[in-house]
Chains A and B, each alone.
Chain A
Amino acid sequence: MKRFEIVKGPIEPQKYADAVLHAGAGAVTVFTGHVREWTKGIRTLYLAYEAYESMAEKKLGQIGKEIEEKWSGTQVAIAHRIGELHISDIAVVIAVSSPHRKAAYEANEYAIERIKEMVPIWKKEIWESGEEWIGEQKKKPTKVSVTI
């Protein structure tokens, strides 16, 4: 496995937690994002994720770097799955270790916000009555690698 990767099969969260665990870590937070059945009253049958894989892995790595600079002593591993995903499947896992718990919680949330903002991954929702590419960038991505 790579620390920052796009995968095509099921995600095993423990692998990413293990990757960031070390003797100096007092806390590890593991976030898993799952496929939800109901969104705004519409029932999802399944999702299809697509990525610009090489760029997405690079951008996940950039998020890792941002976190390690922002919260010292943290380590990060992130994986996002692409392809067809069904209800309750894990779409994304973020593991963050840090000496103390506060940074591990904060950094983990920062990572998912940044993923939703600028990592080139797209989700198509497939319903009984149709399908649609989802996407709403919150703000323009910039070349700046660290935003503190």
Chain B
Amino acid sequence: MDWRAKEKTYESECNYMITIRYFAKLKEIVGKELERLPVESMTVAELIECTGNTYEGFIEHVKSCHVAINEEYAQHDDLIVAGDIVAFIPPVSGG
């Protein structure tokens, strides 16, 4: 596929992927703030395991994190489906 075709399908591709966002300390560990996984569905627990195995140092920090699916806090057995935006939420410190 040439780049033009790639560009065209980019938006629709996102519908077949899970978007993952990283913040604060986790963003530094992972070295990026966003990535896409070509996965149809997985549980929060599976995502944690998957990213934990991918990035060194991630697993120690993820234990204190929460996960949000489409901007709502989720539980470990909640299901993430393609098109969802998932975020790892480290302990918050606003105020």
Contact A115 B94 (CB under 8 A): yes
* A-contacting residues, B57-78, CB 8 Å: 64, 66, 68, 71-73
- Complex CA gap A124/B11 in Å reads 34
- Which residues, 5 to 34 on B, are CB-close (under 8 Å) to A? 21, 23-25, 28
Are the CB atoms of A58 and B71 closer together than 8 Å?
A: yes
What's the interface size class on B, roughly? Answer: 10 to 19
When distances are taken between beta carbons in the complex, the residues of chain A under 8 Å from B28 are 133
Given the contacts A92-B95, A112-B95, A135-B91, A124 and B24 also touching, CB distance less than 8 Å: yes
Q: How far is the CA of A56 from the CA of B68 in the complex (A)?
A: 12
Chain A, Cβ-Cβ closest to B91: A135
- Would you mind naming 11 contact pairs between A and B with Cβ atoms under 8 Å apart? A52-B21, A55-B87, A80-B94, A91-B94, A92-B94, A115-B95, A118-B92, A122-B92, A123-B93, A134-B93, A141-B66
- Contacts A119-B92, A135-B64, A142-B73 aside, 20 further interface pairs with beta carbons under 8 A come to A33-B95, A52-B21, A52-B71, A55-B68, A56-B94, A92-B95, A115-B94, A117-B92, A120-B23, A120-B89, A121-B95, A122-B24, A122-B25, A122-B94, A123-B94, A133-B93, A135-B25, A135-B91, A135-B93, A137-B92
